[in-house]
Structure formats: C-alpha cells, structure tokens
Amino acid sequence: MTAVSDRQKLAYLAGQAADARVNVELETEGMVLNIGPQHPATHGTLRIVARLDGEQVVQAEPIMGYMHRGYEKLTEVRTYAQITALINRIDWVGSFANEVPFILAAERLMGIEAPPRAQWIRTILFEMGRMANIILFLGDMGIQVGALTPMFYAFRDREFILNQIEAVTGGRFHPNFDRIGGLKDDLPKGWIEDSHTAMAKVREICDIMEDVLLGAEIFEARTRGVGVIPPDVAMQFGLSGANARASGIDWDLRRDTDVGLPYGQVDWKVWTHPDGDSFARYWVRLQETREASLIVDQLLDTIPSGPVMAKVPRIIKVPEGEAYVATENPLGEMGFYVVSKGDLNPFRVKIKTASFNNLSITPWLLRGVYVPDIITILGSLYFILGDLDR
Amino acid sequence: MTPLLALDPAYWQVTTLKGILALVVVPTTAAIIAFVFLFKFVSFMHNRLGPMEAGPHGSLQLLAEAGRFLQKEDLAPEQADKRIFRWAPIVVMVATFLIYVVIPAGPNAVIEDLPGGIYYVLAIASLSVLGILMAGWASANKYALLGALRAAGQLIAYELPMVLAVLGVVIQAGTINMQGIVAAQMGDGAEIFGLPIIGNPYILTQFVGMLIFITAIQAELSQTPFDMPVAESEIVGGYMVEYTGTRFLLFFLAEFSSAFAFAAIAATLFLGGWALPHAWGIPYGAMHVLGPFVLLAKTMAFALIIFWVRFTFPRLREDQLQKFAWKVLIPVALANIMLTAVLKVVF
Amino acid sequence: MSSSDTPDTDVTEAEAVEVDELREGVVARLREVLGDGVVEHHIVPNCDVWIRIRPDAWQAAASSVRYTLGARQFGFLSAIDWQPSPWRRYMDSEVDKAVHGDEPKPLPEMTTGYAGGETRFQVFARVANIIEHWGVTLKVDAGDTDPAVDTWTKVYAGADWHERETWEMFGVRFEGHPFLRNIYLPSGFEGNPLRKDYPLLSRFTKPWPGIVDVEPMPGTDEEPSSEEGA
Amino acid sequence: MPELPTPKLPGSGLLKGLGVTMRTALETMFPDGLKNPVPQPTKGAATVQYPHEKETPANRSRGVIALHDENCTACMLCVRECPDWCIYIEAHKTLAPPRRAGGKPRAVNALDRFDIDYSLCMYCGICVEVCPFEALFWSPEYEYSELKIADLLHDKTRLVQWFDTVPEFEPYESGAEIKVKKVPPPPKKADQ
C-alpha cells in the first residue's frame, strides 16, 4: 500500500461522500473548490469556497479575515497623528483617499475649517489617489479576463501619478500628508506643470484601454450580462461607488454631500450605466478616470494662494462628540464614524469601507455562475483586500 | 530520391541519423520560438525590454531557464497516481515529436515522406489530448482535473474545423502528401491570376480556410483566446499545476515545439513550405540549402500571428468556445470545402 | 453629553435658532410611524441626525426607515462599548507606572454619546436616502452583560455580514440572524476583541521605550530625575 | 447615460486591439520612427535597467531618517510619538561649556545611543515632524537593504552617515505662504 495511511484514505473518501449529490438525475457528484486564499485573482488573501456542479457554481461564499489587522482596536490606543499614518494602509492602492474622511470627521468635531489652498490640494491628491487606484483596476480587469498586455500599459502610465504624489508627500503609496486643519507641507516648485503632463498621460491610458479592452468583442462576450445587479438589490447590500452607478443609481458623494472639498467650483459629470453588469462597471470606472483627470486639470488652474495649515494647537485634543463623514473613495463610499471623549485618542472609530459592502453581495450574485465568471465578477466588483478585512 | 552524397548508408544508419536530427531540431526550434516571441516580442509589445541579463540582449535566457527547471526537485502529490503522473508529459512530448516527422524542409530534407502526409499530422495532433488528460487526472488536484476536462473538450471540438480547413487545401492540391502540396503550390505549372511570378500559394485562394486553420491551431496549442486549460487567473496553470522540475520543462518544450510544428504546417499548407516559386528559376540543387531557411521565415510569419493574438486578446469562456467551434467554424469550413470542390471541377 | 429633544444648549445662539427642517422632518415622520419607539434624537444642524430607538421597535424602525422614509441605501451596522477601557492607553498602564512612581488616575465613569443611552453596549446603524440627500444614524441599547438585538437581515440583506462582524467583535447576539458565525476571526477564537476590557497584548509584551533614563552627572549625588522633560 | 455605440464591424474591435499592441511594439523597437530603421529597444522601452541605470527619487521622498546629533537633546518626544515604538534613546548628563564667557557651565544631555529599528519603522515621518530641535531629517536614500534583519537596527553612527545625503532645501510652488520651519543643515562639507 502506498504511504497514504488508511485514516487519510478514509478521510479522503468521507470528504468525497460529504459533497452533496448535487445533480440527482445526472448522478453527478458535487465538488467543493477552494479559490484562494493563495490565488492570483483575489487581490490578496481572500478565499472563496465554491460548491460546484461540473463548471457551474451551486453556492459560493467568500471567507475573509486572513488580512484582518484590527484597525478599530488599534485606533483606540493611538493619537490622531498616528492614526492618520495607519489608515492610509487600509486601501493601500488609493493612497491619499483614505486619510481625507478621517481628517474631515476630526475637523468637524473640532469645528475647524482647512484654508482654501489646503482644500484644493487635498482634492487634487484625492483625485490622484482615485486615478492611481482605478488605473490599476483597468489593467487588472484585463488579467482577470485573460489579456496580458493592458496590465503593463496601466502600470507604465500609473507611474506618472505616483511620481507626482511622491514629489509632494514623500511617499508613493503611503503619503501620510493630511493633518487636522490642513496639510503637512506645500507643493514643490514646478509641480503644477508636471501634473498637467501626468493628467494628459491619464487620458492617453484611458483611450488605450478603450481600444484594447473595451472595444474587443471577446471582452464584451465575457463581461456583458455577467453578474447583473439590479439597482434595488445594490442599494440593499449597500453597494457604493462605481458598482452602484453601474446599476443606474445616480449617486455620488462628491456631488451630493458637502464635506469641505471644493467639488462645487469644478464642472464635472457623474457617469452612470443602466445595465449593472461587469461591462457597465468597467465602462463607468473608465469614464470616471477620464473625468477625474479633467477635474484635476481645472483644480490645478484655480489653486488659490495662501497658507496650507489653519491655526491648530500643538497637542490636539478633539472635543467630546460623534461625527460620521463619508467621501467618494476610489472603491466606493468610505466613512469614518469617530466618537471622541475629549482626550488625546478617539474613544471609538468605526471604519466603514466600501469593499466590505461590495463583497457582501457575492453569495447572492455568484449563484448558478460558471467558474470563469466568478473571477470576472470579482474582478469587476473591484475590491482591495486591506479595505475588505480592515 | 537521388542519393545526395556519394556514400549510401544502410537503412538503420539513416533512421538513427534522422532520430538524432529530430532530437536536436525540436528543442532548438522550441527555443527559437520561445526566445523570439515569448521573451522579446512580447516585451516590446509591453514597451519593456524582456530578459537582458543572460547573454547579449538576453539570448542565453533559455539556457538559464532550462538549468533552473533541471535542478528543481521533481515532486509528485501524495495522492497522485505516480506512474501515470510520470508518463503524462512524455506522452505529450512524443505527440509533438511525431508531428515533425512529416514536415518537409527541403526537396528531400524530410524525416519520412509519408504518402498520407497531412492526414498523418491530423491523426497525431489529437494524441496530445491523451497526455493532458493523463496529467490532469493523475495529479489528484481539483484545478488540474478542471483544466484537463476543459482541454479534452476544447481540443476535440477544434480538431474538426482543422480537418475541414485542411480538406480545402487537399482538394485544391489534389494530393495529401506534403511534398505534393508544396509542389502543387510552387511547382512549374503553378500560377495564379495568370502571373506565375508568385506561384500559387493557397493563402490566396484558401484565405477562409487559412483563417479557420489559424484559429484551430490557436485552440490546439491552448493559446489565449482559447487558453482555458491553462487559464492562470481561474485555474492557475490547469493540468500543469502539480508539475515541477524536468516534467514541467517537458510540458514547456512540448508547448513551444508544437507551436513551431503547427506554424510550420500552416506555412507548408498555405505559403508553399520550403519552396520558392518555380518561375524565379532557382536551381533545384540550391533548394537543398535554401529550403530550411525559407521554411523558417514562413513559419516565423505564422508564429508572429499566433503570438500576437495570444498576447492581445482576453480569454473566452468554454461554453462560448464550444458554441464558436460548432456553430461558426465548422459550417464555414464546410462551405469552404463545397466552394473549393465546385471551383476545382469548373476550372 | 446626552441631550434632550432640543439641540444641545452650548451651540451658539444663531445656530440654535436655525432649525434644520429636513432633518426635523425625518425625525417627525419616524416618530409618527413608530410612536414612542423613538426615544431620543439629536440633530447637528444641516450636518447629521442621530435617533435612538427602543429595543423592541428596532426591526420596525428598519422597515419604516427603508420603506416609508425611503432610506434605501444601507451604510453599515456596528456597536459601541461605552465602558472606558481599564488599560487606558497602555503607555501609562500599571506596568510602566511602577517605573514612574505616581499612582494611576481613577477610571472616568461611563458616559454615552449623542442621543443618550443607558446600557454599556449600544448597536448603531447608518442608512441614507440618496434622493433627498440625507443620512441617519439609528441607535439602540443592547444591554450590559449579555447584549442582544433583533436582526435587520429581513429588511436590509446587506446587514448580514455587518451583524456577523458585530457578533464576533462585541458578542452582541442578533435574534433571527440566519447563521451567526465568525467573519474575520478564526473559528476557534474565544473572547470579543473590540470590547474595551479585551487587552491589546502587543502593548504588554514590549516595555514602553518612552521612559526617560538619563544617567545623572558623574560625581554629583543628584538622584536621577524621573520626569525629565516628559 | 451612455450614448448609443456606433454599430461596427464584428471583428473591428479585435483588430483595433491588435493595432495598439503592434504600434507599441514598433514604438519600442524604433523609437525615432522611420528616421533610423535600426531597432534600438533600450531607448524605446519605458523600463529602467535597475542595477545599471538608476532613477533618482523625488527630493522629498522618505527614504531613510538622518540624525544631526548635535541638535538632539534626548527630549524623547520622537520616541513617544512613534506609532511602532521603534526608536531607542539613551543619554547622560554632561557639563557643556557656557554660552557666554565666564557664565556657569550648562548641564546638557549628551546622546549615548540613538537607534532606529528600520525593520519596524513604517516611514510615517511623525518623528521627523515632531522633533522640536531639528535633529531628524528625511533623506531619499533607499539602498540599505540587509541580509540579516538584525542589521536593520541603525545605530547613531550610521544615522549620522546618512546626514550627508539629506538634499538641499527645495523652493515651494508660487502662491505658497508657508512658514519655513525646517532649516536645512549647515553645508555638508563642514567638518562634523
């Protein structure tokens, strides 16, 4: 007998028998397939237990927690400056966009308003974080569906934005640049002009992606009608960002709520798509990237001069109270519910991340889907694992 | 065959010579294709340089790769069926070697000029499916199982359009012998639209057949628009997932040498293989030397199309792939055969 | 700082007068549907609104907020443990205090946030109406020792995962939830990490580097001053 | 709302995709277009061959923390503010020469040990920002990886060596009214 001991063999057979007899007339035996936690298509360590009947999914359920770092517990023992350094590691691709909601919530509690120049630069870096995040998605969706080249174009042109963020904040991915009351520093000389060239590069990558992927009939065959989410179900699960807008929900926090970012002074358009399938999600994100580059161009031209830091005491003690501020992050609506008891560190910070809600729809969405479509749907929902597991 | 050189070797010497020749030619062709297309051309398409460290401009990268695979430990999963697991890559490799038997690279530079040349190739092409199924089933891994079943479904579904596309060429050439097909295209009487200068490459008359053949090759090699058996983002390497070391090297070599083999067959069927149009008046003797280079150039042309498509397009789902094969390729191939037969009779 | 019905008093006079009719309307409509289910509410003018619901009206609140008030977009659902943490900020915890030599400060007594609350655990959820552009945070008391609240999964399917996370982090049982199990933590994990009395062990294992140990001037018998420029 | 896509030939989307990849391949091989048809991919490629050519990081990029040890008075602010607790400082009291002639010698903290553990550090920059005596600076140096993780604990001498790589002060964009608090170090060539 081979080295396999009898106990293992029995366990192996028992495992097989445990798979429910899924398809009675065809006498087929169900198979439980573990996609992840080590899998190229899951943006990190996410594990999906899919019960298959042949290639069709009978029931799929994501298992998370491999990347859970316990942010909400950490925030209880850190000062506000330390938390800012921590939270730009939640959605590690949209670097600056994580810090803004937390700082805005703290500013609302303290009743401080950042000077106009700081708001302008904050919005510019916020949109740059969005572009850096979504351009990675535009390339990555190609890999999920099998095309190798778009990824390289995306990374080549994304470098320009990361260089701009690094030139201002010092860090490409983790800027840690936002402070309560304004920003840590001001723009270096010649930055505004380099940013204009970077924005032109962003529009160029959007056109390339439209030619290589969006137009290709195979991409349309793989994504049209795959993973359709009706608007009401999307809202019930709390989907936000491009996933909601792709189902026809005309809702964008940048336009609908006023949190102190000058989106009012810029004319831009919210893109929606009626279909709600994977193709629509890709299409909406592509248009939003182009829109973001136009927003940044307009903001760069109208930067007011002035200080970047309001008058703020050196030791920051946030007065007692609660505040919830949510902004339109690249992945969706990210909100910080900050409860403060008036001392150096917050009493409780609830971090509402977009990917958690975006992924909570997958058990409902992945029923009766083919195996390759699991990957397409997960790719189109576009989550970042740090955002999902916090 | 007029004796090439003065000496007249015994039969067994000829076969061993041919065996050694095949053992040398197949890996080098796979190496050429792998280096030119997989390392360099793809990198240029991605606006990057590809391997640059090993050898001038990365030329010795393949030696480094082979060395890396050879010194890796040769693992087999515990619950795998050891014997079948070890023989699977060898079956796939043999299937690729056998295709080279029939490809003519010169007037008599062919390992065995079988009378049923192209018919033999189509039969052998389906042998690799066995190796893949053995690999997938024996490695006791759910991903490998999925990959193998997909490969089986796909390769069988795409053999039919390949056969039908080849039929168009055979009807027009009137023979199924490879040298015969080459002669029909580039022989003395061959000319098209009245100008003999370009001979009669079947790419012009059999253009639809060529397209179907290229698509079928893409599926036989499980390349990207049809690479479900090895879909990296879904089933992570398909049937090759449990292989390491030399066995994986065998699969790698098999993949690229079969790419060269099929591209060479496409060149022979549609671009006239090793021959140049008779009207150019190149002496028959010179073709012995020139033949292989002409075949290499034409094969590179077809391989360019294969790899260009491979690195640009996304991947189809298997049900779309099957629908595309049965509902689109086969009817068009049948229509192509009918048209060729009618035109053959009329002219 | 729990406030009664009117907005809190220390707000400047101008703001107190400016009534935020949109959010007052929301509270009024909810009060009209739930009757005395709405216990207390707090409004920060044209900013945000908090409403505290009686525990037995929690499920009714969900369906009324969703269907009658039209807040179809689900935000999140979580809990707060209002009891102040015995470990404070771990830096001046007992381990390091011994070195500093002064006795620990007494624990502050428990106070709850906006729209009040009597018990230690409080579940709060946020939903938004994206047509009229307002969002509301509903709160409910979940009890002190063994917190339990009705589930929202019947109304907002998205609440399923949030309730599973709140259950494993705070130990709040959700009556009627289809299958309460760990979402982040490994299955064999005991204890509820986000409770305030759950220690953050990483801060115990390593001594706090911030303790100032500057040796005295050689030769002088000056004893080392402990709080040197703290 | 998306405008109706113009009806197009079924295969044309695929051909456009092929066109893009081939155009990029040709651009990489012949960067100067048809002027000189000699393929020179090294010029056309967007990638940098790292060990041979190196990209200079931005002026403010946070590569490594440099210490100006004369300014450090062991006030322990940076140690307390560091989220990862990865800075260790030990000092002792000494008598420093009086500021004005004939004045009383001043008791001042002399630095014994100033270690930063780069295996824990998350490059957030709070220590550099919070230091009241301008003893810590950022330098864009990034090539200090080690074989053993223990070597990532940079001691005082190593941190002072980084001091020479701290870049000059960078002028701000026009319209920036910011109070310059970080005075750059004295010219590097001065003897330490």
pLDDT tens-digit readout, C115-124: 777 888 999 9
pLDDT in tens, A330-363: 999 999 999 998 888 899 999 999 999 999 999 9
CATH class in words for D64-163: alpha beta
How far is residue A343's CA from residue A347's CA, in Å, rounded to a whole number?
Answer: 8
- Strand partners of residue C43: C49
| Residue D26 scores a pLDDT above 60 | yes
| Residue B202 scores a pLDDT above 70 | yes
For chain A, the structural domain boundaries read 74-360
pLDDT in tens, B269-278: 998 888 888 8
First to last CA, chain A: 48
Residues of chain D with CATH 3.30.70.3270: 64-163
pLDDT of residue B265: 93
| Residue A157 scores a pLDDT above 70 | yes
Which residues on chain B are in Cβ contact (under 8 Å) with A55?
146, 318
| Residue C225 scores a pLDDT above 50 | no
What's the gap in Å between the CA of C90 and the closest CA on chain D? 12
Query: Which one of C74, C84, C114 has the shortest CB-CB distance to A235?
Result: C74
Asked if residues C142 and C79 have their Cβ atoms less than 8 Å apart, the reply is yes
| Residue D134 scores a pLDDT above 60 | yes
Tokens 């989410």 label which residue? A229
pLDDT in tens, A71-102: 999 898 888 989 999 898 998 888 899 999 99
Which residues on chain A are in Cβ contact (under 8 Å) with B235?
371
Q: What is the mean pLDDT of residues A273-280?
A: 91
What's the gap in Å between the CA of A321 and the closest CA on chain C? 7
Q: Does D107 sit within 8 Å of C214, measured CB to CB?
A: no
CA-CA distances (angstroms) from residue C78 to A233, A255, A326, C81? Answer: 21, 27, 16, 10
pLDDT of residue A22: 47
| Residue D108 scores a pLDDT above 90 | no
DSSP conformational letter for C45 = T
Boundaries of domain holding C123: 19-212
Among residues A158, A57, A181, the alpha carbon closest in space to that of A110 is found at A181
Q: Does B48 sit within 8 Å of D28, measured CB to CB?
A: yes
Tokens of C19: 């009534």
pLDDT in tens, A33-54: 888 777 777 777 888 898 888 7
E strand or H helix that includes residue A63 = strand A56-63
Q: What is the mean pLDDT of residues A162-181?
A: 91
pLDDT in tens, A97-128: 999 999 999 999 998 999 999 999 999 999 99
Q: Does B312 contact chain A (CB < 8 Å)?
A: yes
How far is residue A366's CA from residue A387's CA, in Å, rounded to a whole number?
Answer: 21
| Residue C201 scores a pLDDT above 50 | yes
Asked if residues C87 and C200 have their Cβ atoms less than 8 Å apart, the reply is yes
Give a yes or no: residue C225 inside a domain. Answer: no
Q: How confident is the model at residue A209 (pLDDT cuts 50, 70, 90)?
A: very high
Q: What is the mean pLDDT of residues B97-107?
A: 87
Q: Does B47 sit within 8 Å of D28, measured CB to CB?
A: yes
pLDDT of residue C76: 93
Average pLDDT, chain D: 83
pLDDT of residue C13: 41
What's the gap in Å between the CA of B45 and the closest CA on chain D? 4
Boundaries of domain holding B320: 3-346
| Residue C18 scores a pLDDT above 90 | no
Lowest mean pLDDT segment, chosen from B120-129, B191-200, C174-183: B191-200
Q: Does A337 sit within 8 Å of C113, measured CB to CB?
A: no
Average pLDDT, chain C: 79
| Residue D183 scores a pLDDT above 70 | no
E strand or H helix that includes residue A325 = strand A321-329
Per-window interface: C 78-137 vs A, CB < 8 A: 78, 80-81, 84-85, 89-91, 108, 111, 113-114, 124, 126, 130, 133, 135, 137
Average pLDDT, chain A: 87
Domain count, chain B: 1
Query: Which one of C208, C214, C217 has the shortest CB-CB distance to D74?
Result: C214
Asked if residues C52 and C139 have their Cβ atoms less than 8 Å apart, the reply is yes
Asked if residues B248 and B166 have their Cβ atoms less than 8 Å apart, the reply is no
Beta-carbon contacts below 8 Å between A and B: 83
DSSP conformational letter for C111 = -
Q: Does D46 sit within 8 Å of B48, measured CB to CB?
A: yes
Q: How confident is the model at residue A7 (pLDDT cuts 50, 70, 90)?
A: low
Give a yes or no: residue C62 inside a domain. Answer: yes
pLDDT of residue D182: 54
ipTM metric: 0.87
How would you class A228 by CB atoms within 10 Å of its CB: exposed for 0-12, middle for 13-18, buried for 19 or more?
Answer: middle
| Residue D120 scores a pLDDT above 70 | yes
Q: What is the mean pLDDT of residues D97-111?
A: 80
Give a yes or no: residue C12 inside a domain. Answer: no
Backbone phi, then psi, for A48, in 5-degree steps? -115, 120
pLDDT of residue D13: 85
How far is residue D188's CA from residue D165's CA, in Å, rounded to a whole number?
Answer: 9
Model-level pTM?
0.89
Percent of chain B with pLDDT over 70: 98
pLDDT of residue C226: 40
pLDDT of residue C6: 41
- Strand partners of residue B45: none
Lowest mean pLDDT segment, chosen from B1-10, B171-180, D137-146: B1-10
Q: How confident is the model at residue D188 (pLDDT cuts 50, 70, 90)?
A: very low
| Residue C89 scores a pLDDT above 80 | no
Give a yes or no: residue C34 inside a domain. Answer: yes
Domain count, chain C: 1
Statement: A74-360 belongs to CATH 1.10.645.10:
yes
- For Cα atoms C18, C20, C25, give the angle at the middle one, nearest 5 degrees: 140
How far is residue C210's CA from residue A44's CA, in Å, rounded to a whole number?
Answer: 36
Q: Does D122 contact chain B (CB < 8 Å)?
A: no
Spatial CB neighbours of A12, under 8 Å, sequence gap ≥ 6: A4, B79
Average pLDDT, chain B: 87
Tokens of B194: 């009245």
Give a yes or no: residue C226 inside a domain. Answer: no
Helix, strand, coil percentages in chain A from 3-state DSSP, rounded to 5: 50, 15, 40
Q: Does C221 contact chain D (CB < 8 Å)?
A: no
Q: Which of B39, B313, B320, B321 to mutate to test the interface with A (most CBs of A within 10 A)?
A: B313
How far is residue C124's CA from residue C147's CA, in Å, rounded to a whole number?
Answer: 13
Q: How confident is the model at residue C187 (pLDDT cuts 50, 70, 90)?
A: confident
